Homo-oligomer: A and B are copies of this chain.
Amino acid sequence: VRERNPRGEGARLREEIVSAAEALLDEAGGEEAVTLRAVARRVGIAAPSIYAHFPDRQAILLAVVRRAFADLEEQLQAAAGTADEPAARVRAVAGAYLGYAERSPQRYRVMFAGVWDAAAALDGGGAAGVTAQDVAGLGQEVLGVLTAALQACRDAGASTTTDPAADAVALWLGLHGLAHQRSVARAFPWPADIAARVVDPLARLR
């Protein structure tokens, strides 16, 4: 029995729901810890109250992921802004990417594992107003930051890439492999300079 939101601000509960789901996810519970009832408990509302804001459980996770992609892109942009030199900018963006995954490993895993499934499920069911294209679009924006940084490198002669768009995908895959595996196999004896060993060759830095 919580204090009610004033009129016209019922949408505030929506944000609280997303934040609660995010918190549950980050607390090492993994995706399946984000149940509708757990979210409701966390917010301090009755479970059915969620249905005023989300059509189903999946839609909550999707909202978490959309917010997470926006956060990630923002952090990548910010990192890109801190470096003047193109090669340094590529490394800064890569570092920000890895940093995000390191700070929010569970969220990272759901972003790149749960989502696409969710989107596919929605395609099938057609329940919510979010399509696979929507979600793919979020990933594309992140990829765009990498592509731009790589292109600048090439133009400045700091990278030998002949196809920045394709090599940005390759670089992203390397970053993803490292980010994902680090979030999952923490005990693995990672070489100290593993990030550079992945980033520099894939970006074809001189």
A interface list, Cβ under 8 A from B: 30, 32, 109, 112-113, 116-117, 132, 136, 139, 163, 165-167, 169-170, 172-178, 180-181, 184-185, 187-188, 190-191, 193-194, 197-198, 201-202, 204
Selected from B169, B176, B188, B198, the residue in CB contact (under 8 A) with A170 is B198
Q: Which 10 A-B pairs have the closest CB atoms?
A: A177-B177, A173-B177, A201-B201, A166-B191, A170-B197, A176-B177, A174-B174, A173-B178, A170-B198, A116-B185
Selected from B32, B173, B184, the residue in CB contact (under 8 A) with A174 is B173
Given known contacts A170-B194, A176-B177, A201-B201, A32 and B32 CB-to-CB distance under 8 angstroms: yes
The complex places the Cα of A187 from the Cα of B169 at a distance, in Å, of: 14
Q: Closest approach, in angstroms, between the C-beta of A73 and any C-beta of chain B?
A: 17
Q: Which residues of B contact A30 (CB under 8 A)?
A: 117
Q: Is the CB of A185 within 8 A of B109?
A: no
Q: Is the CB of A169 within 8 A of B185?
A: no
Q: Is the CB of A191 within 8 A of B174?
A: no
Selected from B165, B169, B197, the residue in CB contact (under 8 A) with A166 is B197
Q: Is the CB of A187 within 8 A of B132?
A: yes
Q: Is the CB of A202 within 8 A of B198?
A: yes
The complex places the Cα of A132 from the Cα of B187 at a distance, in Å, of: 9
Q: Which residues of B contact A198 (CB under 8 A)?
A: 170, 173-174, 202
Query: Nearest residue in B to A202 (C-beta to C-beta)?
Result: B201
Q: Which residues of B contact A113 (CB under 8 A)?
A: 109, 113, 184
The complex places the Cα of A194 from the Cα of B32 at a distance, in Å, of: 33
Query: Nearest residue in B to A198 (C-beta to C-beta)?
Result: B170
- Between A174, A176, A180, the greatest number of chain B beta carbons within 10 A of the residue's beta carbon is seen for A174
